[in-house]
Each structure stands twice: as C-alpha cells, then as structure tokens.
Amino acid sequence: MNQNQNKLKTSVALLRIFIGWHFLFEGVVKMYNPEWTSFGYLATAQGPFEWFFTMLIGDATIGWVDTLNIIALMVVGVTFTLGIFERIGAIVGIGLLALYFLAHPPFPGLTQMNAEGNYWLINKNLIELVACIVIYQLPTGAYFGLDYLRKNKLKTQEQ
C-alpha cells in the first residue's frame, strides 16, 4: 500500500470517527433529555416538502418520530465511531441528513428558521450527507475499527 492510500484511509477514518461522535452525542443527549422533541423543528419546516414534515407532528406520530430519530442517530454514531457495519450507518446517516436538509432547505426566498448560520443552497446537513457518501464509498473499519477485528477473526476461523 502506498503512502497516499494510507493518508486517504487515515483521513477518511478520522472523518468517520468525528461524524460518528457527533451523531452519537446528539442521540445520547436527546435520549436522556425528557423535554426534547422534534416537534419545533418539524412544525417550522419549509420548502417543497413542508406538507410531509407537518404531517409528522400529530399526537399519534410525534412520539414515533422522536424515537426513530434517536435510534437513527445512535445507529450512525455507533457504527461510525466503532468502525463496524459502517455502510449501514452511512445509509442511515444519508437518509436522516436528507430529511434534515429537506425540512429546512437553504433555498433562495425561504426564511432561514432553526438555522445556526446563514446558508444559501448548501448547509452543514448537506455537507455531512456528502461526507457520509464518502464513508459509504471508502469504508475504513477494516483498516481502523472493529471491522478489522471481525474480519480477521472470520479469516482465522476459515483456516
């Protein structure tokens, strides 16, 4: 393996771990905060899919939405941080970040609500979504993560 490949794998592994930590921390904080709900974020949704997100805030659905959001955050966080089954985590992350992006798209003409900054077309959700695509394409768990241990254990069992 040449030096550039090592640098790429190390960089993507760091990206994976940092994003994993971000997702895991967000999931844990939401899970242990009994006051947290996605209601406010969904109720202020804008753009072409506003109807979909406002449909999710009903009394019968909001509890499920909150629980699924926490589970999705934790799945991405655990798989990315530990470096195992990271492609599954990447798919979940891409889906979750796409929903976050579509709920509050930074499109011209829309007031930026629930945004931590000023965005135009591209925001942090979209950037992190693209990073999840990179992690899906270049999984590094077999290089640095539990996938390395899992795959080596399977190899020794086969011999």
pLDDT range class, residue 155, cuts 50, 70, 90? low
Number of domains in the chain: 1
For every residue of 84-153, DSSP letters joined together read SSHHHHHHHHHHHHHHHHHHS---TTS---S-SS--BSB-HHHHHHHHHHHHHHS--TTTSSHHHHHHHH
Q: Is 0.85 topped by the overall pTM?
A: yes
pLDDT in tens, 68-119: 999 999 999 999 999 999 999 999 999 999 999 999 888 887 777 666 667 7
Q: Residue 16 has what pLDDT?
A: 95
Domain limits at 144?
A: 1-158
Q: Residue 2 has what pLDDT?
A: 85
pLDDT in tens, 121-148: 888 999 999 999 999 999 888 888 888 7
Across 55-64, average pLDDT? 93
